[in-house]
Each structure stands twice: as C-alpha cells, then as structure tokens.
Copies of this chain bind each other. A is one copy, B any other.
Amino acid sequence: MKSLTSQLPDLHLELPTWVADYLSKASEQTETPEQRMAFVVSLARMNIQHGSGGPFAAAVFRLDTHALVAPGVNLVVSSRCSVAHAEIMALTLAEQVVGSHDLGTTGLPGYELVTSCEPCTMCLGAIVWSGIRQIICGAQETDASEIGFDEGPKPLQWVSDLQQRGITIIQDIQRAEARQVLQDYAKQGGMIYNGRPRTS
C-alpha cells in the first residue's frame, strides 16, 4: 500500500534540561495547595523564559505526602506534538514513574494534578482516564481564552462531570499569579497556536 514512511515513526517526549536543573535547586515547600501551585506557576513562567513552550505547567503530587511525582510543561511547538500540553506531560510522566496506566489503581497512594490553568477538552478527558483523584487549578479557562487560546468543545458542566467521577476539583488557587503568566506571555508576543478556528 502507498505509505509515506518506510520505517515506522515513534514518539519521544522529554522535559527540557532546565527543569532538572531547577528541581535540583528547588527548595519550595509542598504542604499546602498554594505552595504546590506556586511551584507550578514558577515552572510555567520559566517555560516562557527558556523559550521551551507555551505559558502552561502542571505537576502530579502524592495525595498523602505531597511529594512531587512528575512535573510537566507545555512542549507543543518544540516537540512538534499537539498533545504535549502541560497536564498530558505531567500525567503520562507520573504513569511512567508509578509503572501503571492507572494512577487510581488499588495499592497506590492516590495522586493529585496541580495545573496552572483549567484543562482544555483534551486534558479534561485525559484527567478522567489517568485515575487521578484530585485536581487543583490556577487560572480559569477564560484567562486562557482571553489571550487567544481555544479551550475546545468542552462540556459546560465539566466541573460536575469530574465530581461525578469521584475527582475532587479545587479552583482559583493562586489564580492572579497564574493569570499574570498568561498575560505576560501575550504581551511578549508569544505564539498562540490553535487548531482549526470555530467559524460559526
């Protein structure tokens, strides 16, 4: 059959080296939601400063000890991968660390996703499939759409959709700080990449 490639492609996603450098020096506390969000918002800001991606970051923490399991930053353009949103990076890397596609499986301690911005349609679905138990959001979806990012065809009742699946959602943690990163990105002329625009 007609095929564009003689060899099958593969997908390799890794975080920029500055993330490891930052983590080796980071002294942030992670006991409170505000502290964990402050760490995530720092990652989002650094992702702009290093030119490695969009103004979004996320991280998976253990629910009991609040230890970091995996950080994530937006790598869509740099990794040539439209699914490399911050939440997808943090969730999939956490699954690699834990060794299961299901972070909610029996025998695991339970995990939380902290994200600098409320999830888009894709990440909303990914949150459900990941088995995560709790999500903490910084900026609101309107803060992202205000600078031109499309959140996709997301159900209006997405918060209760998550709650009905036993996922706790905590919103507006450090929202002003998280929103400021988005605003600064737009002011600097950062790339607003989207899929196909809505025409009607």
- The stretch of A11-19, A139-147, A177-185 in contact with B is A11-19
Given A68-B4, A130-B195: A96 touches B15 (CB 8 Å cut-off): no
Given A2-B67, A125-B123, A195-B128: A161 touches B165 (CB 8 Å cut-off): no
Stoichiometry, as copies per complex, reads 2
Given A10-B15, A129-B122: A69 touches B195 (CB 8 Å cut-off): no
Q: Which residue, A10, A65, A82, A154, has most C-beta atoms of chain B within 10 A?
A: A82
Contact indicator B82/A83 (Cβ below 8 Å): no
Contact indicator A10/B8 (Cβ below 8 Å): no
Task: Return the CB mask of A1-37 against B: 1 if under 8 Å, else 0.
Answer: 1111101111111110001100100111110000000
Contact indicator A27/B1 (Cβ below 8 Å): yes
- CB A103 to nearest CB in B, in angstroms, measures 8
Determine the interface band of chain A, counting residues with CB < 8 A from chain B: 35 or more
Flag whether A50 is at the interface (Cβ < 8 A): no
Residue positions of A touching B, CB distance < 8 A:
1-5, 7-15, 19-20, 23, 26-30, 39, 62, 65-71, 76-77, 79-84, 88-89, 91-93, 95-97, 99-102, 104, 120-131, 133, 150, 152-155, 157-158, 161-162, 164-167, 193-200
23 A–B contacts from the bound complex (CB under 8 Å) = A1-B26, A1-B28, A3-B23, A5-B70, A8-B20, A8-B93, A9-B97, A10-B14, A11-B89, A11-B93, A76-B129, A79-B101, A81-B96, A82-B91, A82-B92, A82-B101, A83-B129, A104-B196, A122-B124, A133-B196, A165-B198, A165-B199, A166-B197
